[in-house]
Amino acid sequence: MTNTTRPADWLGIGLAALTGVIHLVLAGRYDLFRDELYFIVCGQHPAFGYADQPPLVPLIAAALYDIGGTAFWVRLPSVIAAAALAFVTVRLARGLGGGLLAATLAGLSVAVAPVLMGLTAILSTSSFDPLAFTLIAALLLRGIGGDDRALLWAGVTAGIILQVKYSLLLWAVGLAVGILLFERDLLRRKALWLGVGIAAVIAAPSFAWQALHGFPFLDLSAAARDKNAEVAFGAFIANQAFIMNPVLAPVWIVGMVAPFVDAGLRRLRFLVAAYAVTFVLVRLGGGKDYYLAALYPAFFASGAVWLAARARARWQAWLLAGWIAAAIALSAVIAPLALPILSPDRLEAYMLRTGLAPQAQEKSFAGTVLPQVFADQLGWHAFTEQVGQTWRFVTPADRARTAILTDNYGEAAALDLYGKRFGLPRALSGHNHYHFLGLRGQNPQNLIVITDEPARLAKVCTHADVVGTTWARFAMAHENDKAIVWCQGLRQPLATLWPQIRQLE
């Protein structure tokens, strides 16, 4: 390794270590997120796929929860993903011909971008998107330069990420268009198609599971459009700048323009086309703003290389350094909305004092005090205790004939993981993969039902009495003031009603 590359290599390692330490320190500060609870329960029922996702994240979540039993352990893969993204972005900037200044700007950009911090603050199927796309982009660029092995490794990476999240299919459409427009010679390379084949083989079990179960993910994707908040085009564009840090917006914007004006970055044109196609697909599908977050690190790298190459004078380099410092300062202000730096009380006060608030991603967010990434980590123990209090009033004779039916997978998973101390049975729900778990060996004559619509239960059971309500100060608003209903004497067997309870979203 030459002396000219060593500083940038150490920079990548240092940024990765610093990013990882910050995420590690904060990983266990709040409780498990709604989806993390759900992943753990899904993973405790090993399968090649699940209704709403491939198997890898649930299996990892369940294994880590069994080891440590806390959010800290479950989030270790996301900590690694955050650290690795900083390192890969630095290496990408170096591969594009950037020096230490370019590598610094690129690496710090991805380390402090608010949405990238937030995506890796919890374990989610989106936590690995930025790392995966950046790595695939870097490998394809090496492949364009003649490295066949890089194309094979791109296939391995794609196959693995398809076992994490199906969103790569959207990127694949964009990448295919970009390659057709700007890198058609790549299509004549045997290694590219071998890489595609490798990806298909690795991803095949999950797609086979979906096929055998009627592709529930497609139904879920269609339903998600109605669930997601409607965001005007202008607001969507503006929020892209906000979630990536407005001060850093010129970096990725330059990174998209530079391939068309700089011969040294010309080979990145296909990535710009991929971004444009993916942007259109996300908008047409009513997708959330963070769905595009995975594509920005590559443009941070190209933008950093172009800008740093023009900072030839000492004062220009210092100006760029000041710009980086300003970006870090702004991200520090926004960071409490992405990472669990503050307690819920202090975060609420901070948001009121600064006027900062995240854009609502789902219609159900209305009325929630904290950002969803935090609100969905709070209140689950209180929810379980409130249901557990109701269970205590069910006589021992009735308990064997009583099941608990919830509105959604978050509620069901919370009861499954936290309900043991109350002696609760395994929860039932028609939501997403819980519907496929079925009645879980139960044949109840009575139900405890958590619902927003207790009146509808009059048609289901002979006696329906509201015996409690749910409440937690900082939980998602739609989880509060739900009725806990003691539903006695089912008019029909629950097995008969079960197909009507199915809910995918």
State the SS3 of 192-220. HHHHHHHHHHHHHHHHHHHHHCCCHHHHH
d(CA 429, CA 502) in angstroms, rounded, equals: 8
Helices 148-162 and 190-212: angle between axes, nearest 10 degrees: 10
Does a structural domain hold residue 389? Answer: yes
pTM of the model: 0.92
* Residues 175, 126: Cα–Cα separation, whole Å: 19
Q: What is the pLDDT at residue 271?
A: 96
Domain around 298: 12-132+215-337
Q: Which of 306, 337, 368 is the last residue of a domain?
A: 337
Find the mean pLDDT for residues 238-245. 88
- Of the three residues 337, 363, 395, the one that is the final residue of a domain is 337
* Helix (H) or strand (E) segment spanning residue 345: helix 344-354
Residues 312 and 443 in one domain: no
Coil, strand, or helix at residue 272?
helix
Residue 3, pLDDT score: 44
Mean of per-residue pLDDT scores for the chain = 91
| 24-30 contacts at long range (C-beta below 8 A, 24 or more positions apart) | 24/79, 26/121, 26/339, 26/340, 26/341, 27/71, 27/72, 27/75, 27/76, 27/78, 27/79, 28/70, 28/71, 28/72, 28/75, 29/340, 30/71, 30/340, 30/374, 30/377, 30/378
Write out pLDDT tens, residues 318-336: 888 888 899 999 999 999 9
Burial of 120 (0-12, 13-18, 19+ CB in 10 A): buried
Rounded Cα distance, 500 and 448, in Å: 18
Do 293 and 388 lie in one domain? The reply is no
Number of structural domains in the chain:
2
Say yes or no to pLDDT of 362 above 60: no
Whether 61 has a pLDDT exceeding 60, the answer reads: yes
Q: Does residue 388 sit in the same domain as residue 478?
A: yes
Does some domain include residue 157? Answer: no
List pLDDT tens digits, range 454-496: 988 988 999 999 999 999 999 999 999 999 999 999 999 999 9
Residue 242: the pLDDT is 87
Q: Are residues 404 and 310 in the same domain?
A: no
pLDDT in tens, 405-458: 999 999 999 999 999 999 999 999 999 999 999 999 999 999 999 999 998 898
Residue 360: pLDDT band with limits 50, 70, 90: low
Of 198, 182, 201, the C-alpha closest to 190 is 198
- Pair 221, 316 in one domain: yes
* Residue 137 within a domain: no
| 312 and 407, same domain (yes or no) | no
Closest CA to 250 of 296, 204, 211, 281: 296
Label residue 363 by pLDDT band (50, 70, 90): low
Confidence of residue 6 (pLDDT cuts 50, 70, 90): low
Mean pLDDT, range 194-212, rounded to an integer: 97
pLDDT at 324: 86
Tell me, yes or no, whether 111 and 237 share the same domain.
Answer: yes
The answer on 112 and 49 residing in a single domain is: yes
The single-letter DSSP state of residue 469 is E
Sort 420 into a burial class: Cβ within 10 Å, 0-12 / 13-18 / 19+.
exposed
Mark whether 393 and 276 lie in a shared domain. no
On the 0-12 / 13-18 / 19+ scale of CB atoms within 10 A, 297 is buried
Is 176 contained in some domain? no
Structure tokens at 252: 């990725």
| 144 in a structural domain | no
Q: Looking at the structure, do residues 29 and 120 belong to the same domain, yes or no? A: yes
Task: Give the end of a domain, one of 283, 306, 337.
Answer: 337
* 3-state class (DSSP) for residue 480: coil
Average pLDDT value for residue range 228-238: 78
- C-beta separation of 55 from 48 below 8 A: yes
- Across 49-71, average pLDDT: 96
| 478 assigned to some structural domain | yes
Give the pLDDT confidence score for residue 364 in this predicted structure: 60
- Res. 224: pLDDT tops 70: no
Q: Exposed (0-12), middle (13-18) or buried (19+): which is 436, by Cβ within 10 Å?
A: middle
Q: Flag whether pLDDT at 5 surpasses 60.
A: no
141 or 236: which leads in pLDDT: 141
Cβ(228)–Cβ(281) below 8 Å: no
Question: Is residue 316 very low, low, confident or very high in pLDDT (cuts 50, 70, 90)?
Answer: confident
Distances (CA, A) of 487 to 445, 449, 463: 9, 7, 6
Asked whether residue 157 carries a pLDDT value surpassing 70, the answer given is yes
Q: Tell me, what's the pLDDT at 1?
A: 36
Q: Partners of 469 in the beta sheet?
A: 483
389 Cβ neighbours under 8 A, 6+ residues apart: 468
Does 230 share its domain with 324?
yes
Q: What residue ranges in 130-270 does DSSP mark as E strands?
A: none
- pLDDT for residue 167 is more than 90: no
Q: Is residue 83 part of a domain?
A: yes
Identity of residue 419: G
Quick one: average pLDDT of 224-248? 80
Residue 117 falls within a domain, yes or no? yes
Are residues 320 and 424 both part of a single domain?
no
